[in-house]
Structure 1
Amino acid sequence: MIYPIIRHLTFLTACLLTLIQPAFAQYSSAGALTAKLENIQKKSGLTGFAVAVVTPDSILYQHAFGFSDVAAQQPYTVHTLQPIASVSKTFVGVAIVKAIELGLFTLETPVNDILPFPIINPDYPTAVIRVKHLVSHTSGITDRPEAFKKGYVICDDATRGNSLLQQLLKAGYGNGDNRYTLPAYLTDYLQATGKLYSKKNFKKAKPGTVYEYSNVGTALAAWLIALKSGMTFPEFSSRYIFTPLKMEHTSWRTSCESPAGMAQLYDEAGNVYPRYREASYPDGGLVTSCSELSVYLQEMIKGYTGKDGLLKKESYKLLYKPMFPAGEAPKGIDEKEPNIGVLWIHRMNGVIGHTGSDAGVGAFMFFKPEKQLGLILITNTDIENMQHGATRQLADFVAVWKEIGDYGKQVLP
């Protein structure tokens, strides 16, 4: 069975994202929660996972369970590195707002004012795609499967006998070019003469009128930053996000080199995925740990409360400000996720953050604004795929999310 790569979890998120509800589980100590989660892991199909419960000023709970590498019996720890799929998009959002703060462009800037070639929706050739359309998933740029799969690079040292490798190749994933870059991929995809170009790369809709989640649109937003700043997007991220927060082991995966401490990634049957990266890496290729992601989430909650930090107070307001005025939501938007800031999803129940799902990856990061409480859950195991929706691990993921949510509710000062 093939496990398609999907970046953003869309199936059954309603049950997963009830971040703060009346607590059902009662814990006498953090140790009681640990025992509960250990029991879930042992009975579950989640190979390894890590969780965190944070406030702006403290880590209320942080722990890891299971294995980062089963064959080597390497435990999964809070410092284990792995991709976080579409939770990566929140970092792109922060980088976009930082670029605006630096005067590189605004949300109203037409993307064709920055790009080295024009992007034209063939059904609306005079329509203007603006930065705000990219960061709100209303640009009309689609993730056409046949072309989107070609953004994945399966690393040369992947074992050729790997059953998942053969299935991914058969399904059309990978382009055979280990040097495939973000600019090359976006040019191939969006320029009218590009080898991945098709009219189907665009919706038959004017920018701003229809919501369709777009990984390619997010990657394009990151490229705009690189073009205007004179830095690569990883360099910009390091200077303005990772280094200030001392996220020393966090990086964008732009090559096949694996950093020390990188987890193996597993499908729902426990098979190891071949190593891969994405040419469109800003849409889901951030590699980090629960420990460093916790530092980031704390900073994001502080910013929401009005404190200067990575961004100025007014920039944080822009980051989280709902893009769609009341009564003016675009067609196609999910009623469970009725609004979005600059790539930060606003859930109907009031939480703000993002989900992520990729080959061998599940990642959730959300915070409840009025409680100033955030949760993180990342795993190196499939929790959803397009062939049959939820994997059997999704129920275990739900169980873990509920337990840490209950704990957070109980221990809030």
Structure 2
Amino acid sequence: MKPIEQMKKLAVVFVIAITLSSCNQSKKNTDNLIISENQITKDSLTAELDSIQKNGEIIGFAVAMVNQDGVLYEKGFGLSNLETKVKYDENTIQHIASVSKTLIGIALMKAKEMGKLDLEDPIENYLPFKVINPNYPNETITIRQLATHTSGINDTEQYMNRAWILTENQDLTNVSTDYPAQRLNPPELNIPMEEYLNGYLAVNGAYYQDDNYINFKPGERYNYSNIGATLCALVIEKATGQLFDSFTEEHILKPLGMNSSGWSLENVDIQKHSRLYRNDNTLLPFYTAITFPDGMLISSSSDMAKYLVELIKGYSGEGTLLKKESYRELFTEHLEEQNFESRNAGNPYNGDYSPALFIGHSALGYIGHSGGDAGVATWMYFDKEKKIGRYIVINCDMGNDERARELEYYAVWDKMNEYFDKLNVE
């Protein structure tokens, strides 16, 4: 090759190299700009949420914002312990109330995939005791009816006054065990879940009363039931031969890397556990529930972010816990107008508007569940069109006489929504 031709080739290579280097640098600069802008957005959201907490009455809370690709934002605010001033962060744990029921739905579909049950099966096929609405003694109750809250099983004072149990070996000094909405019972009143459900649901059982069932045939009327949800968890136990907490740990918590989560204090790091408070800031004791599947999952907002990402993926046909067709059935709306006494179409986050399987659709395009217990409030919803979701958990009662905390709770929720378009960038 002649020297002049070599020089031309070298010049071309040099130009190409410079161009590629320039393109790479340009892409790197663009990526860095996006990262920088994203961090500015996160810092701005953090400042606004921090201001809501500091100027309000919520003691401690955490939030998470996700899309189907992962976590967009997660952060804790305020305190997990008023006395010791420990901060509430995204790794703080506490039980999440009725959002826990969504795990019953996932577990139910996993058991179906394993060939252990079918949703149309009568529950009597799996239970060692009779569950029959005495108003309709010839009608059977199916698993699907439990999962859509149409079984006719009703929560009464035998649930509100009996289900919650104080955990053992805790210091009750300066702690209030008085909670008007749900009685917190001493540890010696704890009994196995199956024994309690038998006593509640069997006619002439220890906790039976006439209004433990509503006067509608199974499948006719939507009636949200914690007892019915817990009974479904027992059906899963009997069908699979595995305890519900163990089954969900194996098939949900571990696969998603929800390593801070569990169904009892023995299964989590209590050092990370938030204290819970009444609306007058009185400290509440640690408690559990005989009917633990209906609301006693202990988790962090960081773990719940992973779970919410999976739900959005599942809705989009890309979930990892269940097959595509199982997720499709999980999210299918089951009921019609005649199944309800009344419905609120104006609440965007009302999962009771159109139930699927232990999760619900609002009238305005959101899917999810909410929860509330003594000293706990939670929301977990995702936008089924935009595939973005939010989670919030607080460690105190929602409101006082002026409903201040409830307004702050909504303010936090709405503030997250304002920032989604800024955070949800490629």
Confirm or deny that 1:204 pairs with 2:215.
yes
* Greater RCO (CA < 8 Å, at least 6 residues apart): 1
State which drifts further: 91-100 or 153-162: 153-162
Aligned to 1:339: 354
Q: TM-score, normalised by structure 2?
A: 0.85
Mapped to 1, the partners of 2:122 and 2:344 lie a distance apart of 26
Out of 385, 392, 395, which is 1:370 matched to? 385
Give 1:122 deviation, angstroms.
1.1
Aligned to 1:123: 135
Mapped to 2, the partners of 1:168 and 1:329 lie a distance apart of 33
Give 1:254 deviation, angstroms.
7.4
Mapped to 2, the partners of 1:311 and 1:153 lie a distance apart of 33
Equivalent residues in 2 for 1:114-263, closer than 5 Å: 114-160=126-172, 162=174, 164-165=176-177, 167-168=178-179, 172-174=183-185, 176-177=187-188, 179-253=190-264, 259-263=270-274
**Larger helix percent:** 2
Give 1:392 deviation, angstroms.
2.2
Give 1:216 deviation, angstroms.
0.5
Mapped to 2, the partners of 1:360 and 1:258 lie a distance apart of 19
Mapped to 2, the partners of 1:288 and 1:257 lie a distance apart of 9
Mapped to 1, the partners of 2:122 and 2:261 lie a distance apart of 31
Give 1:63 deviation, angstroms.
0.9
Aligned to 1:102: 114
Aligned to 2:326: 315
Mapped to 2, the partners of 1:179 and 1:92 lie a distance apart of 22
Instruction: Look up the equivalent residue of 1:199 and give its one-letter code.
Output: D
RMSD (CA atoms): 2.3
Residues 1:175 and 1:121: Cα distance change in structure 2 (over 3 Å): farther
Contact 2:333 2:355 in 1 (8 A): yes
Mapped to 2, the partners of 1:62 and 1:257 lie a distance apart of 20
Confirm or deny that 1:40 pairs with 2:40.
no
Mapped to 2, the partners of 1:70 and 1:212 lie a distance apart of 38
Mapped to 1, the partners of 2:267 and 2:242 lie a distance apart of 21
Mapped to 2, the partners of 1:210 and 1:175 lie a distance apart of 35
Aligned to 1:13: none
Q: Which protein is bigger by CA-based radius of gyration?
A: 2
Residues 1:255 and 1:110: Cα distance change in structure 2 (over 3 Å): farther
Contact 1:250 1:286 in 2 (8 A): yes
Out of 310, 328, 340, which is 1:299 matched to? 310
Mapped to 1, the partners of 2:181 and 2:279 lie a distance apart of 19
Task: Give the total of aligned pairs.
Answer: 383
Aligned to 1:61: 73
Give 1:104 deviation, angstroms.
1.4
Give the SS at the match of 1:183.
Answer: helix
Give the SS at the match of 1:177.
Answer: helix
Give 1:168 deviation, angstroms.
3.4
Q: TM-score, normalised by structure 1?
A: 0.87
1:228-285 deviations in Å (ceiling 9; x for gaps): 1111000100111011111112111277987331110011221111111110011100
Equivalent residues in 2 for 1:323-402, closer than 5 Å: 323-325=334-336, 327-335=337-345, 336=347, 337-384=352-399, 391-402=403-414
Residues 1:384 and 1:286: Cα distance change in structure 2 (over 3 Å): farther
Aligned to 2:11: none
Contact 2:94 2:298 in 1 (8 A): yes
Contact 1:256 1:277 in 2 (8 A): no
Mind listing any 5+ residue stretches in structure 2 that lack a counterpart?
1-38
Instruction: Look up the equivalent residue of 1:51 and give its one-letter code.
Output: V
Mind listing any 5+ residue stretches in structure 1 that lack a counterpart?
1-26
Aligned to 1:7: none
Mapped to 1, the partners of 2:399 and 2:332 lie a distance apart of 30
Mapped to 2, the partners of 1:232 and 1:122 lie a distance apart of 29
Mapped to 1, the partners of 2:217 and 2:84 lie a distance apart of 52
Residues 1:112 and 1:190: Cα distance change in structure 2 (over 3 Å): same
State which drifts further: 218-227 or 259-268: 259-268
Residues 1:86 and 1:346: Cα distance change in structure 2 (over 3 Å): same
